[in-house]
Structure 1
């Protein structure tokens, strides 16, 4: 059977390894997953209660207006209902962006290493990909490429903070960059980890309302998968002008987010104590990773997320990851990104101590 030839260039996305399968394969009693940037403190009790209390709705199609969650997000960000679309994870909003602007004659732009799904979705349409030589967000390099290929580039993805590296631009620099981009080029600000960056440094905070009020060609992406501990419920959202959002709705399938997911997301937004505790614990535990790296001369990029990336010169990241896996610690090897590096999600104090216990044996 013949398929579209441009699909041959797509690498299948690598998701995190299943803990139960790893335990069975290696005969382990305990497996600790520090690979997928999930919330190590689980899901807030309010969200769990919302799921349990609404289980009776499981046989019904969800409210396709998603009015309850939309109203909660409208109040949170001081935006209008027409500026908002809900997706099955922010990945689905990325898909809308790509389908709305790209085809085989067009291209998108990103920094050298960023979230893999940008490229996968673009290549599904046969679109071209432009990346900077810098693996992190170098706005000068991004603008040079944009200027050189302006007729082709119709989407720019800025992942702030960046996954899988963790660095983050100051919002002032982002706005200066946006001033130079033509209105017909859609600029997506992927804020999947922006709550973490905002907590660590206010200069990194992106206000979605301010962003879309200033720039009609900008869209902000948010998710409930990281800070809010709802990775398994798949809820994300996009915030943009009425024109952009109404176009995205033409691409959206009905009933794309489940009843229980919507209820859980509303409850998770309201649990301020859980959110604050997660942020505080994340960065207090991250200091241990930074101190270990400095002590052992491991290169890392200061992270504004809930993970940290270690870079190696002599050690092989795939080998290190495999040895840790056999000892019940799952981390993310980044060789698929062309990096001799690993990404480690910041876990609980116990999970992190177990990581260092096993990592120290093999490093």
Structure 2
């Protein structure tokens, strides 16, 4: 059997190792495994969301409201846009797929940072488009400008992941706007704000306003998700915000009932408890300081993070893949970034107890 040739050589996305696999492979009790690899919110979700989902579970036999009116209304109110500016996806990565299948094709290229969210490239290659990456790993707007000039007329989609996954850096909002004013308006610019709640909490100069973006730049699609700050990774609920015509086009690619009845309810209720999000932000960045202090004490580098994870970069002689594997065997799951050409690991900021266990075992492995 033959398949679409654009799939030749396309790698599968490698999700973080599940707890169940660690239990099976290393004989560790489930309660003794801590997962710090997938940037989930270790504090879970709002109690109000849990209660609402439990009540909604009696309607699990029914399809969800495919208009998603109430969730769109909540997001529109949250960001000061109209419902016509919002599309809902099974995670924001589904909206990435909509965007690329709407715009990208084999005659165009897709531009992104040197190290960024892997699904941009995976979805992009599915369209047959050429993938271009900046020479710098992190978001360097001068590199982006140079690439745009070098490949003028050939780039159809440009990705900005702000803050960036898996590295954690973020750009100032003002410099992003200045850059966007120089981008050809026929290029679709996808601004992935999956971690914007964290960046906005830590530093308001990094805060991106979706309404301001789409009002000035009709070619911008802003992405958000309930998977991180709201603690709903398992519910797979994300969204895109854009100019009404752009969103109307993306809806042509959206399958019916693309999120579940419970996911829809969870998103609606999550927006009502911003206090929960604020508490998560406070603890996240308080705990992140412990990671920064440990890195300084042990003499290795880290990338300043505006997210719920931190990237630790090791010197020669300290092999990231070996460190990650040793911790895995102790029931601590982190993300090895060797596949990105980096001698580094990404660690989700856990609860204080989880982080203490990480430090205890990390120092044994590292030293």
Give the TM-score taking structure 2 as reference length.
0.98
Between the aligned partners of 1:292 and 1:219, the Cα distance in structure 2 is 38
Aligned mates of 2:123, 2:24 — CA distance in 1: 34
Other-structure match for 1:337: 340
8 Å contact from structure 1 (residues 333, 343) kept in 2? yes
Matched residue, 1:180 = 182
| Offset, 1:9 | 2.6
Equivalent-residue separation in structure 2 for 1:72 and 1:241 (angstroms): 18
RMSD, aligned α-carbons: 0.8
- 2:311 counterpart residue number: 309
Count of residue pairs the alignment pairs up: 363
Alpha-carbon distance in structure 1 between the residues aligned to 2:177 and 2:45: 34
SS of the equivalent of 1:309 reads strand
Give the superposition deviation at 1:166.
0.3
- Quote the residue 2:28 is aligned against: 28
Q: Deviations over 1:30-54 (max 9, x none)?
A: 1000000000101110110111011
**How do residues 94-243 of structure 1 correspond to structure 2 at under 5 angstroms?**
94-243=96-245
Look up the match of 2:7: 7
Matches of 2:299 and 2:167 in 1, distance apart?
18
**CA distance, structure 1, for counterparts of residue 98 and residue 149 of structure 2:** 25
**Higher alpha-carbon deviation: 294-303 or 199-208:** 294-303
Give 3-state SS (helix, strand or coil) of 2:3's partner.
Answer: coil
Residue in structure 2 matched with residue 43 of structure 1 by the alignment: 45
Tell me by how many angstroms 1:6 deviates.
Answer: 2.6
CA distance in 2, matches of 1:341, 1:22: 21
1:353 deviates by: 0.3
Indicate if the aligned counterparts of 1:193 and 1:305 stay in contact, CA closer than 8 A.
yes
* Equivalent residues of 1:111, 1:135 under 8 A apart: yes
Partners of 1:11 and 1:291 in 2: CA distance: 36
| Other-structure match for 2:60 | 58
**1:348-363 paired onto structure 2 within 5 Å:** 348-363=351-366
Tell me how far apart the structure 1 counterparts of residues 171 and 248 of structure 2 sit (CA, whole Å): 29
Following TM superposition, by how much is the alpha carbon of 1:247 offset from its aligned partner in structure 2, in angstroms? 0.4
Structure 2 residue aligned with 1:319: 322
- Runs of 5+ unmatched residues, structure 1: none
Distance 1:222 1:302 in 2: 22
In structure 1, the residue matched to 2:302 is 300
Q: Which runs of 5+ in 2 are unaligned?
A: none
Aligned-partner Cα distance in 2 for 1:118–1:292: 33
Further displaced range: 148-157 or 247-256: 148-157
With structure 1 as the length reference, what TM-score do the two structures score? 0.99
Q: Distance in 2 between matches of 1:40 and 1:291?
A: 21
Write out per-residue CA displacement over residues 147-203 of structure 1, whole angstroms, 9 at most, x where no aligned residue: 111221011000000000000000000001000011110111100000100000000
